[in-house]
Every structure is written in C-alpha cells, then in structure tokens.
Amino acid sequence: MEVNCETIKHLAKLSNFSLSDKETESLTGDLKNIINYISELDKLDTDGIEPTYQVFEMENVWRDDEIIKQDADREQLLALTKEEKDHQIKVPKVL
Amino acid sequence: MKYYPTIGIECHVQLSTKTKLFSEVDNDARGKEPNSCVSPVCYALPGMLPRLNGEAIKFAIRAGKAMNCEINASSRFDRKHYFYPDSPKGYQITQFYHPIIGAGYVELPSGTKIRIEHAHLEGDAGKLTHFDNYSLVDLNRVDTPLIEIVSMPDIHSAKDAHDYCKELWRLMRFAKVTYGDLYNGNMRFDVNVSIAPEGSDKLGTRAEVKNLNSFRSVERAVEYEIARQTKILEAGEKVVQETRGWSDATGKTTGQRSKEEAKDYRYMPEPDIPPINLSRQFINDEAAKLPMMPSDYREKFNGKIPTDILEILLDYPELMEKLNGIDEKHITIISNLFTSVLLAEEKSAEYLNDLPDVKKLSDLAEMNEKKELSSTATKEVFLRLFDPQMKGRDTKAIAKELGLIQENDLGALEAIVDAVLAKPETKKAQDDFRNGEEKVIGFLVGQVMKESKGKANPSAVQQILRDKLK
C-alpha cells in the first residue's frame, strides 16, 4: 500500500483534523513505517481465514432490556461539551 | 422512447425496546427534554464499553420473520467511520459484513412480491437542528436500535413503492417491534430510482432520495424522479448518480451537493461486541412469538370481510387482534361498524386506544341480528361502547338505558310475525283469512302477542299481518 502526503490529508479530512504541512510530512513518514511493519503479515496466506472479531472466543455477550440509572446526569454530560445552548450541544453550522 | 423505472428502497425502523442498543438508558424519548435520554456510552466518553441489548436481537428475529426472511445464526457488528456532530463516537456500530437478517420477501396487497436483500441491526445517530450560524445537537436518539431493511430493485412504479413502504410499516407494527410513528421518524425511507429504455437489460444511473418519512412523499418523490430523469434522457443528457433531498412543500427533489469524493467508511470489526451465534432453538422460540401478520388476516377473512374494508382495518394491529376473537358469524357487522367509525368519526384513531372487549362486541352483533336493534341503533350503541362512562356496563344494559331496544319496532315485530306464520297451527287461520274470513285476524294477532310475551304493539301487528297475508 502506498502512503504519501495525500493519504494523510485524506485521512485528516475524514477525521476532521487540521494538520500543518510539517505535521503532514512527519505523519506520512510514521504511517509509512507502521504500514511497512504490518505488511510483514502480507507474507502469510490468509485465504479462507475469517477476519478476527474476537480474540478471547467470547460470543453472545448481551444484557437484559432494563433501564438503569446512569452515573452521569444530563448536566454533567453537557458540562463536558465545549458549548451548550438550551440543553443541547452547540456546534458550528454543519449544513 | 418509453422508459421503465426500477426502484430499490432502504428503510430504517426504530425498535421500541425499553433501552438503547448499547447502554441501559431510556430508549423512549417521546415528549422528553433534549439530551435527557443519554448515557456516557451515547456520549462516547473515553473507555465506555457498549453493552448489547439482547432484546434488540429478539426484535430483529421477529422483524425478519415478519418479512419471510432467513435469520442468520451468526452475525457480527462492524464500525462504520464518519465524522459528523450527530455521532460522538466518530463511527456507527452496524452490521456491514454479517447482518442478522438474510434474504426474504414482502408481499404487497396486490400480490406483487418484493424481495428483501437483507436487514441489519445498527445504532441510530443524534438529531441536528440547524440555525443561521450554528447547529444544535440532541443525543436522545443516539444508539436507538434500528433495523435497516434493504430491498432488491424489484419495484417498478410509484404506487408499488408506496405500497411496499406501507406494507413494511404494517409488518413492523404487527410484529410489535416499533411504535411506527412516521411523523416522529420511527420509520424513514431512502429510495433509489433509475430508469432505462423499455426492454433494456441494463439499469440506468440511479439517484437516491434520502430521508422520506411518509408513504405519500415516497410516492411523490418517485413520480418526480421518474419524470425528471425521463426529461434528462429525452434531452440526450445523462443522469448524475447522486443523493437528492425531497421537499414536501415544493414537491421536488434537489441535488445535495455533497462533496464528490467517494465515501470512505473504513469498516472494521467492532472489537467491543463479541459475535452473535444463535442456536436454531433460540431463533425458533422467538419466531414462534410472531403474532398473526397481515397476510394471515387476509387469508382468514377472505370472503368474509370485503377486501377494501379489510385493507382499511389492517392499518390497526390491535383492532385486527380484537376482530380475530370475534365469532365468524358476527365478523361482517363488527368490521363494518369499525370501518364506518374509522372513515366518518372525527379523531377516529382515538377510538382504537381502548377497544371494547369481544363479548360486548359479539352481544351487539347478536342484538342486531335478532333485530333487537335497528342498524341506526346498533351504530349508536357501538359508539357508546367507547364511552368511558359506559365502561362497566354490558351491551344490553347500554341499549336499554338508551331506550334503543326495539320491541315496538316494525322490524322486530316482523320477525315475530314471520315466526308465528311459519307455525303449522296457524296455517288454517291464514288460509281462512285469505278466503275472506275477516275475524280470524284476531286469532293471529293473539298468537303474535303470545309469542312476543305481550310486548308487541297489537295495531302494528295487525297491520303487518294484513300486509303479509295479501
């Protein structure tokens, strides 16, 4: 897989990060190294092997459909946001 | 040139579980304050672990069975990444590779079958409200369980698109998996429309109209798209593949100039939710809980309730359940009474909030059939059955209190007269009267009075007898 500055810019855009040129450049180098290292795995023949969803072989972990009082209430959660208005989270215009 | 439309529909259904899909917080935000039905999981606070709601799995099995679908024993969750303020996680937990509901079909009232490609479980996103220079986010809807139902491109007209959406709505409500409140977005439709020259084996380029929330807008949007695309092709131009928005007010779809870059959701297995592996037994147990579906009722009431009336009643699952308990011989009159209320009464749906019990309805039908109540009186008593003040009383008591029992009514008397005339011991008197023996009328009136236990009006009886013996 080829990694270049465009890859990093694309990923940054998808994640809504703004990166300086310098950061873009250094991240490109980092990601190249990481991909290179992971690419070792390409040498393995994985035909017909299912993707790993669970490493501990757990399955069917679910709970009952009963409401439990939450540890954090509305005000506490809203207090974590940058800005609130009328009990809602205020964000820059998105449409 | 004639063009042939091809339509596929994706439908999101909000499940009416008590709690959300991934945390134990209230899932019913109707009439509640913004951001009051949220948990740290909905906020995606660091380290929060989603905990899957087992009931949603059961709901999905029922929903799938309602659409004649295979239920996949093995299903999994994946992350679909995107950045938008409606999703604090930065991704949606969905089932991209291994959905719980496999292939099936929905049969429209017309008999047309629309195949279901698959349906999957996923969490809903939050709700955005846009203002001039900012937007507000309400996370009440985050992680409400959804099933997304994906149809095959088997729909070829605006009417079938409408009927398919409506039938899905019915199926999901009969299966009791959703409140089915369209106005509040409990079911939302994305419609893919393309047209191709008639006879062509290739599909045209499609446009997707997103986020429709009524059957009527689905129908209108499809009609509009067919006309729009026909015009483009006839002008020798090309349809652009794009997402379009619909406006009920203008009756038009408009291109949503979303960035043209290809979608890149970077799907990956959801590591926080272990795979689901269901036993046959588990699936069958849940499937067995599926109540009667519209198609079952169509079969059951075929020939007993006229199709057009049945299709009105089929919008009301609780009513159909009630009718299912009514004796077959009363079904015509009872279904007609409900239909007349639904079509004529103001706020008719409110009548269905608290349905009278089967016994009261059957008694009413019986009184009507015995002509104790005229048809007008039957309707009046029927409406009173919904009256909270009449709650504790049985049908007969209500009819009596309203003075509607028609012992003096000509219809009721006629029935008694007919019964008396059918008796062999009155045969001679009837013949004598026809031969001019005027005085035997007194004997016959007497017989009718006896039969009515003295309740009949003698002069009315004499009049009826004279008419019958002409």
pLDDT in tens, B435-460: 888 888 889 988 888 887 766 777 77
- Give the CATH number for residue A19: 1.10.20.60
CB-based contact B386:B351 (threshold 8 Å): yes
CB-based contact B35:B140 (threshold 8 Å): yes
Q: Are strands B78-81 and B207-212 parallel, antiparallel or unpaired?
A: unpaired
Report the alpha-carbon distance of residue A42 to residue A33 in Å, rounded.
15
Q: Which residues of A touch B129 (CB under 8 A)?
A: 88
- pLDDT (0 to 100) of residue B467: 84
The last residue of one of the domains, among B282, B301, B329, is B282
Q: Give yes or no for residue B48 having a pLDDT over 70.
A: yes
Quick check: B137 contacting A, CB < 8 Å? Answer: yes
A64-73, B297-306, B350-359: least confidently modelled range = B350-359
Confidence check on the interface: ipTM exceeds 0.95, yes or no:
no
Q: A32 lies in a domain?
A: yes
Q: Are residues B214 and B299 in the same domain?
A: no
The pair of three-digit structure tokens given for residue B468, joined into one six-digit string? 């019958």
Q: Are residues B381 and B455 in the same domain?
A: no
Q: B83 lies in a domain?
A: yes
Residues in chain B: 470
Report the alpha-carbon distance of residue B435 to residue B447 in Å, rounded.
20
B298 is in which domain, residue-wise?
Answer: 292-401
A26 is in which domain, residue-wise?
Answer: 1-44
- Give the CATH number for residue B427: 1.10.10.410
What one-character DSSP code corresponds to residue B22? S
Nearest to B25 by CA among A79, A77, A58: A77
For chain B, what is the domain count?
3
Q: Give yes or no for residue B56 having a pLDDT over 80.
A: yes
Give contacts of B 266-285 with A, CB under 8 A: 266, 269-271, 273-278
pLDDT level of residue B120 (50, 70, 90 thresholds): very high
Q: Give yes or no for residue B324 having a pLDDT over 90.
A: yes
A contact test, residue of B20, B21, B24 with most A CBs within 10 A: B24
pLDDT level of residue B265 (50, 70, 90 thresholds): very high
Give B397-443 pLDDT, tens digit per residue. Answer: 888 888 777 665 677 788 888 888 888 888 888 889 888 888 888 89
Report the alpha-carbon distance of residue B399 to residue B405 in Å, rounded.
6
Q: At what angle do helices B317-324 and B158-174 cross, to 10 degrees?
A: 60
- pLDDT (0 to 100) of residue B454: 62
Q: Are residues B223 and B321 in the same domain?
A: no
Predicted model pTM: 0.85
Report the alpha-carbon distance of residue A76 to residue A23 in Å, rounded.
35
Q: Are residues B380 and B313 in the same domain?
A: yes
Residue of A nearest to B128 (CA): A94
Q: What is the mean pLDDT of chain B?
A: 91
Q: Are residues B397 and B418 in the same domain?
A: no
Q: A20 lies in a domain?
A: yes
- pLDDT (0 to 100) of residue B189: 98
Give contacts of B 67-106 with A, CB under 8 A: 76, 81-85, 90, 97
For chain A, what is the domain count?
1
Cα separation values, A70 from A73, B23, B39, B219, Å: 7, 9, 6, 43
Q: Are residues B223 and B261 in the same domain?
A: yes
User: What radius of gyration, in Å, describes the C-alpha atoms of chain B?
Assistant: 31
pLDDT level of residue B468 (50, 70, 90 thresholds): confident
**What is the average pLDDT across B310-328?**
93
Report the alpha-carbon distance of residue B281 to residue B263 in Å, rounded.
40
Q: Give yes or no for residue B349 having a pLDDT over 80.
A: no
Neighbours of A63 (CB within 10 A): 15
Q: Are residues B197 and B274 in the same domain?
A: yes
- Give the whole-number percent of chain B exceeding pLDDT 70: 97
State whether residue A40 is helix, strand or coil: helix
Q: A64 lies in a domain?
A: no
